[in-house]
Structure 1
């Protein structure tokens, strides 16, 4: 089976959910017209990855200004129990596309935020993956999810799953994805380093799956002027992108895209996954179940569309 995929390397309208949703809608319409069936956006595309912000926090103290900034970020974050989701479900239905988008997600029942990846089909929401381990200072603004967040989906365009940014450096989290037979492994990120591309190649080879790694292109001047005053030590071109696609044999088949906004769009052939398992299969003839036992607490079974 062949599937046409599109990875969108763009910037949000930072801290403005409504304008970012409008931009996402325009981009989806554009790339759907080009025949793309699966469209992927970067980590926390809605309402933006808060690179460079401290939220006024130091060990032992927090500032009122930092709390104000967090509240603004919270108010502009994605709400699954609101029109935010309905709007994207309608978009996917109208365009007949699958959408995977990184969002900062808020929950009405409490004040915590999650770094999430939402999966939407033409029929509606498939599910949500929430980051199980935010990295470094991300832990200040994003809560940790549990095993029930390690979701995978068996769809008409293949088995979808993946992890966000540095979750992909967690060997057991990757194995949780492989164990569900993921064919299209999606890795939204904000990491623009060359070493990230090396990691994506390794995952493709290790998991015998297509790896779609989507990053943003973002410069300091894209932040609202009022927020730039605390960014003096941040270089202008601080997230150069690096969106990339690898085959199940670790072959670079698109990208990396650096230094500009844009998209990688191409047709992938899922039959190559079976061919790649002739000599290596992490959950088949290389699994060695007689030696190893793998268990994930709370991971849901793969969900059929």
Structure 2
């Protein structure tokens, strides 16, 4: 039997950025530029925020009454992404050019059935679309915008940069959703989010320990100046920042923050992730293996 190949060290980039609001083409161009910039700094895995293409309906403004709901819905749908589709193809071309894997949050629409759209995490490599996951449960006001995921896409994808899995924002609080992904033995956990709280940082640090995986947490930095004068929804008065960010990369086992957190600015957080650390962490605690006790704890 041939020995297993050594586990590599992967340079990961958490890209904290705000899209060009409701402008898919401009947001995509910005994403391609940021992907190139991250690759130029040696990144092999580049992770973007939740609903980066092309707007996350943040509670910081979306809960306010008085907007033109139909106008916002139309523009959200028009700036959403089909997967597979031409936006995915362009991102895959960029991944091929730079030799990287990209994870990016999008509002996903279905070309064959105009209507509902979904909060979706896309995983894209030089080969094209590797995996997509639709958020299981939109949170509170998000239910006015996003459909509910079917849950048939929870899993881990084997890639050139390791075994990648993860969940979107507050799905990461759902123990059974985490458990479903843990079954695949993730080495790097993707956690795009809109949460900039201390509680969120505690959540992703816990997941790094529980999963025995590096966690890449990537929110948006959301400013009033990103919204145009024609934005069809009222914004809170006297508020300049709707999301402080907090991009961070967390080490398995210890839950140590090894990159970031970055607050109050756009930027790229980098960390070198030695995948041997995931094996060492699971030696001590493997939630889906020797420490699972599913035989007595799993519902029957």
Q: What is the TM-score normalised by the length of structure 2?
A: 0.92
Q: Is the 8 A contact 2:72 2:233 kept in 1?
A: no
Deviation at 1:127, TM superposition (A): 1.3
> Which stretch has the larger CA shift, 231-240 or 216-225?
231-240
Structure 2 CA distance for aligned equivalents of residues 121 and 267 of structure 1: 19
Tell me if 1:208 matches 2:215: no
Whole-Å separation in 2 of the counterparts to 1:202 and 1:126: 27
Aligned: 1:140 with 2:144: yes
Length, aligned pairs only: 289
SS in 2 for 1:285: coil
1:272 pairs with one of 263, 269, 277:
277
CA distance in 1, matches of 2:233, 2:85: 33
Q: Deviations over 1:178-219 (max 9, x none)?
A: 111111000000111111000011111111111110111111
| One of 227, 241, 247 as aligned partner of 1:243 | 247
The 1:294–1:99 alpha-carbon spacing in structure 2 relative to 1, beyond 3 Å, is farther
- CA offset digits 1:141-169 (Å, max 9, x no partner): 10001121213201121100100001011
CA contact (8 A) 1:127 1:151 kept: no
C-alpha distance 220-72 of structure 1, shift in aligned 2 (>3 A):
same
| 3-state SS of 1:5 partner | strand
CA contact (8 A) 1:128 1:151 kept: no
Question: What SS does the aligned partner of 1:15 have?
Answer: coil
Correspondent of 2:25 among 18, 31, 46:
18
Q: CA deviation at 1:123?
A: 1.3
Secondary structure of 1:149's aligned partner: coil
Q: Kindly tell me: are residues 229 and 162 of structure 1, through their superposed partners in 2, closer, same or farther at Cα, counting changes over 3 Å?
A: closer
Quote the residue 2:53 is aligned against.
Answer: 46
Aligned-residue Cα RMSD (Å) equals 1.8
Provide TM-score, normalisation by structure 1. Answer: 0.90
Aligned residue for 2:164, secondary structure, equals strand
Residue correspondence of structure 1 range 184-263 to structure 2 within 5 A: 184-227=188-231, 230-233=234-237, 235-249=239-253, 250-263=255-268
CA distance 1:16–1:234, change in 2 (3 Å): farther
Contact kept, 8 Å, 1:132 with 1:149, in 2: the verdict is no
2:187 maps to 1:183: yes
User: Helix, strand or coil for the counterpart of 1:278?
Assistant: helix
Instruction: Extract unaligned runs of 5+ from structure 2.
Output: 1-7
Distance 1:82 1:121, change over 3 A: closer
Relative to structure 1, the CA distance from residue 74 to residue 234 in structure 2 (aligned partners, 3 Å threshold; closer, same or farther) is farther
Task: Give, in whole Å, the separation in 2 of the partners of 1:21 and 1:229.
Answer: 23
